[in-house]
Amino acid sequence: MTKPKVVDFRQGQEELRDSLRQGMLDAATRLLLEEGAAALTVRKVAEAVNCSTTLLYSLFGGKDGLSNALYLEGFARLKQGFIAYESKLAPAQKATGIDRIWVYATNYHDYARRNPSYYTVMFGDAIAGFVPPLESRLAAWESFTPLIAEFERCMQEGNLPSSSPSAAARLLWAAMHGVISLELKGYYLKKEHSDELYRAAVRAVLYSLAHPEN
């Protein structure tokens, strides 16, 4: 005889809360991608899911909480994008050595171009007054673990002199971010100019890591 299903009221409430929260985050993401960061107001997000602003405040704690959720979502998408890209490559296409660093750099540049609004939330001043809390900034750095792993692999295989993989990743990120930030703010008149400078910046960092004595 089949036992009747036991209803767990607290679990049901938590599942409903998670569903509502994800729906609001999805709505905020659509506003961010379609209308830009200026559209990220508590009122507009609440209207997008047909709920009260009071409910949004209860789930996110206000605009800062919503902004922080988008901040973390952007970094999660960055990490997932690189992992997904890697998984789609056929064995014959998989890069080795330093070429894998270039794969990451190319994917990073593509991500910023495909998601400029997310990128400005993650690294810029898109949302006035928003400052990510320390725990969120630490979680954001976790999105760079694939890059750190690539540097560690290169050093273990002898493609780069042994040093700190984390420090190497930070150095490359600083160079990549510098070029991308200028690009997204319109400082380059042509896409080709940005591409050329981006590749030069990555080459310069990799050269400095390969020749630390110079």
Mean pLDDT over each residue of the chain, to the nearest integer: 85
Q: So what's the pLDDT on residue 48?
A: 87
DSSP states along 113-145: HH-HHHHHHHHS--STT----HHHHHHHHGGGH
d(CA 82, CA 106): 10
Q: What is the pTM of this model?
A: 0.79
**pLDDT exceeds 90 at position 177:** yes
CATH topology for the 73-210 domain: Tetracycline Repressor; domain 2 (1.10.357)
The mean-pLDDT minimum among 139-148, 155-164, 203-212 falls in 139-148
In the three-class reduction of DSSP (H, G, I as helix; E, B as strand; rest coil), residue 12 is classed as helix
Q: So what's the pLDDT on residue 116?
A: 86
Answer whether 74's CB lies under 8 Å from 28's CB. no
What angle is formed at CA 132 by the lines to CA 128 and CA 136, rounded to 5 degrees? Answer: 155
Residue positions counted in the chain: 214
Q: Which part of the chain has CATH 1.10.10.60?
A: 8-61
**pLDDT exceeds 80 at position 22:** yes
**pLDDT exceeds 60 at position 11:** yes
In the three-class reduction of DSSP (H, G, I as helix; E, B as strand; rest coil), residue 190 is classed as coil
**pLDDT exceeds 60 at position 35:** yes
Which tops the pLDDT comparison, 2 or 172? 172
The mean-pLDDT minimum among 2-11, 71-80, 201-210 falls in 2-11
d(CA 50, CA 47): 5
Nearest to 39 by CA among 113, 47, 182: 47
Q: Which part of the chain has CATH 1.10.357.10?
A: 73-210
Place 160 in a pLDDT band, splitting at 50, 70 and 90. Answer: very high
**Which of 30-39, 56-65, 140-149, 158-167 shows the highest mean pLDDT?**
158-167
d(CA 207, CA 175): 13
pLDDT 10s digits, 74-121: 898 888 887 776 676 556 556 778 988 998 899 899 999 988 888 888
Return the CATH number of 8-61, one of 1.10.10.60, 3.40.640.10, 1.10.3720.10, 1.20.1300.10: 1.10.10.60
